[in-house]
Amino acid sequence: MVDVSAILPRDEWVQRAARHEERADALTAAHRSRAAHGEKHPVWDFLFTYYAYRPSLLRRWHPGAGVALADAPERAGWRWYSDAARHGVVETDAVVPDAEAFRTEKPQLASLVERMLRRTASRPGQFGCFGLHEWAMVYREQEHRHPIPLRLGQAGTDAVVETHELRCTHVDAFRFFTPEAVPRNRLAPTRASQPELEQPGCLHAGMDVYKWAMKLGPLVPGELLLDAFELARDIRLLDMQAAPYDLTEWGVRPVRIETADGKAEYVRRQRAFAARSTALRKRMLNAWLGEPASADY
């Protein structure tokens, strides 16, 4: 039985959906234009390749779990929506995103997403990595994943890695370390250990809030989904500003984490992203499971 927390009249939810589509279109306009012309971008393509969600999915508005849409026959049969009449709603053709339908169909995914959101939100952030994961991905390698020159050259880049401690906690960054960089990391993150190691100071964990929102689909309000995408966009910029690549051709100002001033800027912005990501995780748990957004875990 779905606990229907609100019923949105058709006029209201159609207007919200239209505003959402306009906002989503503005967020993806530059990417869609580049894609139409076959142009690549070393910073922003990541948001649509690593997170392989089409812009059309991003612009699809949902009300969130337990919020019924009145007079919505076009959504009948949508995945993880159910007929609101089965849950005591008398409005005509009302449907409601059904958290139990999601959990029934995807029990392992539901369990994983809940663990990742709850546990990551419960932990203090760690702020001593300085974005060196990107440096570890090119350490002592002549061929790189990105065909972009290194700001300090190969020898200078290697020296930065060798004079710092690698502290990466995120498996999806660690798995791209070069073989020579792997033993230099303080930890050896794995997929199995991810729920235990994920922490809000990690830039990639912050970007992944967008991934979890996408996986929950209609259980997450569209406005929250776009907030998560905007966070991923903002984090991605810092991630590449702090990387070893020379991105001046694309107008990207480097954050020189090999210097004291660069480290200070990186940590300041990293802390702000950690606070934003934790707030979004709590909002997501609130929308999905009805937990207070102010809850401590």
Q: How far is CA 105 from CA 99, 133, 286, in A?
A: 10, 36, 21
Residue 12 confidence (pLDDT) above 60: yes
pLDDT in tens, 91-118: 889 999 999 999 999 999 999 999 999 9
Domain containing 96: what range? 6-289
User: Where residue 292 falls among pLDDT bands split at 50, 70, 90?
Assistant: low
Partners of residue 150 on adjacent β-strands: 245
Torsion sign across C-alpha atoms 272, 276, 113, 57:
negative
Asked whether residue 133 is assigned to any structural domain, the reply reads yes
**pLDDT for the residue 114:** 97
96-106 as b/e, with b when 16 or more CB fall inside 10 Å? bbbbebbbeeb
Asked whether residue 297 is assigned to any structural domain, the reply reads no
Interatomic CA distance for residues 280 and 127, integer angstroms: 19
User: Where residue 297 falls among pLDDT bands split at 50, 70, 90?
Assistant: low
Interatomic CA distance for residues 220 and 229, integer angstroms: 13
Q: What distance separates the 2 farthest-apart alpha carbons in the chain?
A: 70
Asked whether residue 88 is assigned to any structural domain, the reply reads yes
Q: Give the chain's length.
A: 297
User: Where residue 294 falls among pLDDT bands split at 50, 70, 90?
Assistant: low
Of the candidates 121, 110, 91, the one whose C-alpha atom is nearest the C-alpha of residue 4 is 91
User: Where residue 283 falls among pLDDT bands split at 50, 70, 90?
Assistant: very high
Asked whether residue 296 is assigned to any structural domain, the reply reads no
Asked whether residue 266 is assigned to any structural domain, the reply reads yes
Mean pLDDT for 261-269 is: 98
Asked whether residue 1 is assigned to any structural domain, the reply reads no
Asked whether residue 193 is assigned to any structural domain, the reply reads yes
**pLDDT for the residue 155:** 97
In the chain, the number of structural domains is 1
Asked whether residue 132 is assigned to any structural domain, the reply reads yes
Residue 150 confidence (pLDDT) above 80: yes
pLDDT in tens, 16-67: 999 999 999 999 999 999 999 999 999 999 999 999 999 999 999 999 999 9
Of the candidates 173, 170, 167, 160, the one whose C-alpha atom is nearest the C-alpha of residue 134 is 173
pLDDT in tens, 138-147: 999 987 777 8
**pLDDT for the residue 293:** 59
Contact 71, 10 (CB under 8 A): yes
**pLDDT for the residue 90:** 85
**pLDDT for the residue 147:** 82
State the chain's mean pLDDT as an integer.
Answer: 95
Strands 81-83 and 95-97: what pairing? antiparallel
pLDDT in tens, 151-189: 999 999 999 999 999 999 999 999 999 999 999 999 999
Residue 296 confidence (pLDDT) above 70: no
User: Where residue 220 falls among pLDDT bands split at 50, 70, 90?
Assistant: very high
